[in-house]
Amino acid sequence: MFSKCRSVLIFFLYVLLINFSASQAASIDQNLFKGTRAQLIEKYQSMLNNTPNTQDFLVKRTLLSTLINIVSSKDKQYQQINQNINTKDQLAFLKLLKYIASLHLEYEFINNKLTQIDKKLKLLEESINQAKNTDKNLQILQLQYVMYILTKDKLAKRANFLSANFPKWKNLLYNLFLKVKFEPAPLKDEIEKLKVKYSKLEEKLQQLSIENDRLTLTNDIKNLNKTQKTIKNIIKSKDGIVLKIIDNYMLIYLHRIKNGKTGFSKDLNIWMGKINDKEYLALVQEENNLILYIEKRKIGNLRMFMNHSKQAAIQIISNIWDFITKPLFSIASSKISILSLFLSIVIFIIGIKVGKTYKTKVRNARLSRNIADSTKIILSNVGYYIIILITFFIALRTIGVNLSSFTVILGALSVGVGFGLQNIVSNFIAGIILMLESSIRVGDYIEISDNLRGIVKDIQIRSTTILTNDHIEVVVPNQTLFQSNVINWTLTERTRRFRIPFSVAYGTDLDRVEKIVLEALNKSDLNFVKDSSTKKPQVVMIAMNSSSVDFNLDVWVSGIDLIYPRRTSSKFLKLIYKTLYENGIAIPFPQLDVHVRDLPDT
């Protein structure tokens, strides 16, 4: 029972505490802004009279005075645009268009202001609800809240008036547009004159900017302030000229719309981008929006969309063209753009493709029988590099590089030759000499060293490719061929004498050896020169060694066997061995006779 009573008592105290706290919390005093104009003025004036005129109460007195002024000021009788206006003058029409655009700009400004006021009211309401009735600043917050409420009410009335009348104002503007006679010819002349004035102001502004920098460096404050003031005036004058140019372009814009053409103007957008004052720019944009409304009604949505899409595409292409033709950097006096750089690269790539095609066609061509394969390869290589060189100069001209200034580059290259480029240039020159004098040709079998021999497969401007008997392609710098002793086995004629060594034992009939070897050679199907009086095979005795009599079979070989010397020598050695073996001629081998003699006893 006691526990139950205690619970009831606690609940009662809790409710009492909540009511007490609620009674202490402040709330919005709606009596401060509810009532007639006269009642509100009387209330604010009474509060002002009862507020001490001291520094501590300055904010409160200022707020009360502001509230009295807001309530005392009568609501404006907003001026309507005369719906019966009838003008055919293009300038008067433009003036009306500007006025309606300014009203629309005012409407947007009021809406932004109302949004800001709503945010402030929300913050003030939170502050008031969190305050206590005993707080000193509570009345200040209440009065400031009332000021925003009254201001919002007046602005909302103006916004509602503008919003309600815009449709009929725009309709009036369109109907007048149909009656106005636009004359673009004098407008174009005036635009050109204004552009000249603008250019002069731009030039003068640049000069003043230079002077401003100079005065800043010298810290000449007096003249600096004067110059900066002049700069501001010129910028303002420039904006004035820009606005006049835009007005004329807009009238030309409207003339095109009236004739059923799109009014989209690249020039108009360019000059809109030159406006420095943001308020001017906002007004011009509103004017442009009204013209778009007229265009939409005159031409129609679909056609307007198609026309604008076409013009937008042209504009995009124009912007891209301006971007790719804009100079990136300069070489001497030549300005290099993305387009010229791209075209030069494309031309050079095409030149390489043409050169490679020419090279392949010449090498595979069936020319006269008197033209050797080596000649075709030389022609293909020389022609290829000539095409590349010509393409290179064409690419330079495409970029805009003056070839007369190319001597500077050649001078730099000559310095480079003395250092890192020396070997490259040496190989280049050696390659040209090898091609011209034909001391080494494609298809020749050459020997550079004991370990490097093979067929010349290709002679290029920097190096020569040799295919060895092991079927390994070796790239040899041309300078090496030019400066080394190179054996060309097939330079003047494609025959070579092979000396095949063999030996017989002492006591062998030498004449018989010569006879049977030559007879066996003539009866064989080996490849050698047979019908030449100066290149007949011979068996020549060359030495008497300790255990053998040594001979050489001198035989001239031509054709494919030349490029495989070890294989060719092997064929002849096998023939000699079989011949000697079949005829019972002993083939000696190294031997040592040892004589043992008895030594006398000592």
Residue 526, SS3?
coil
Residue 174 lies in a domain: no
Q: What residue ranges of the chain have pLDDT lower than 70?
A: 1-25, 75-80, 82-86, 262-265, 300-315, 329-334, 366-375, 401-422, 592, 598-602
Residue 176 lies in a domain: no
212 φ, ψ (degrees, to nearest 5):
-60, -40
Domain boundary among 447, 467, 488: 488
The C-alpha atoms of residue 498 and residue 566 are separated, in whole angstroms, by 10
Q: What is the pLDDT of residue 19?
A: 44
Q: What is the SS3 string spanning 158-214?
A: HHHHHHHHHHHHHHHHHHHHHHCCCCHHHHHHHHHHHHHHHHHHHHHHHHHHHHHHH
Residue 312 lies in a domain: no
**Where do the H-state alpha helices sit in 438-554?**
478-483, 510-523
Residue 103 lies in a domain: yes
Question: Are residues 36 and 148 both part of a single domain?
Answer: yes
Q: What is the pLDDT of residue 2?
A: 47
Residue 24 lies in a domain: no
Residue 54 belongs to what domain range? 30-163
The C-alpha atoms of residue 160 and residue 144 are separated, in whole angstroms, by 24
The C-alpha atoms of residue 303 and residue 280 are separated, in whole angstroms, by 31
The rounded Cα 546 to chain-centroid distance in angstroms is 83
Q: What is the pLDDT of residue 14?
A: 47
Question: Are residues 354 and 384 both part of a single domain?
Answer: yes
Domain boundary among 417, 446, 478: 417
Q: What is the pLDDT of residue 560?
A: 80
First to last CA, the chain: 155
Task: Indicate the burial class of 447 (C-beta count within 10 angstroms; 0-12, 13-18, 19 or more).
Answer: middle
The C-alpha atoms of residue 590 and residue 546 are separated, in whole angstroms, by 8
The C-alpha atoms of residue 588 and residue 314 are separated, in whole angstroms, by 98
- We report the CATH number of the domain holding residue 520 as 3.30.70.100
Dihedral sign, CA of 174, 175, 176, 179? Answer: positive
Residue 457 lies in a domain: yes
Tokens of 480: 């090496």
Question: Are residues 130 and 52 both part of a single domain?
Answer: yes
pTM of the model: 0.51
- We report the CATH number of the domain holding residue 403 as 1.10.287
The C-alpha atoms of residue 1 and residue 8 are separated, in whole angstroms, by 11
Residue 11 lies in a domain: no
The rounded Cα 318 to chain-centroid distance in angstroms is 18
Name the DSSP class of 326.
S
Question: Are residues 37 and 77 both part of a single domain?
Answer: yes
Residue 462, SS3?
coil
450: left (phi over 0), alpha (psi -120 to 50) or beta: alpha
pLDDT tens, position by position, 250-293: 888 888 888 877 655 677 778 888 888 888 889 989 988 998 88
Residue 225 lies in a domain: yes
pLDDT tens, position by position, 295-307: 888 876 555 555 5
Please list the helix, strand and coil fractions of the chain in percent, rounded to the nearest 5, in that order. 65, 10, 25
82 φ, ψ (degrees, to nearest 5):
-60, 115
The C-alpha atoms of residue 311 and residue 253 are separated, in whole angstroms, by 13
Question: Are residues 35 and 155 both part of a single domain?
Answer: yes
Question: Are residues 391 and 369 both part of a single domain?
Answer: yes
Question: Are residues 254 and 369 both part of a single domain?
Answer: no
Task: Indicate the burial class of 56 (C-beta count within 10 angstroms; 0-12, 13-18, 19 or more).
Answer: exposed
Residues in Cβ contact with 181 at an 8 Å cutoff, skipping those fewer than 6 apart: 88, 90
Question: Are residues 455 and 563 both part of a single domain?
Answer: no
Q: What is the pLDDT of residue 426?
A: 76
Tokens of 405: 């200034």
Name the DSSP class of 25.
B
* Number of structural domains the chain divides into: 5
Which residues, listed in sequence order, are joined to residue 540 by a DSSP beta bridge?
Answer: 552
334 φ, ψ (degrees, to nearest 5):
-95, 130
Question: Are residues 476 and 525 both part of a single domain?
Answer: no
CA angle 339, 340, 346 (to 5 degrees): 90
Question: Are residues 192 and 297 both part of a single domain?
Answer: yes
Question: Are residues 282 and 387 both part of a single domain?
Answer: no
Question: Are residues 49 and 156 both part of a single domain?
Answer: yes
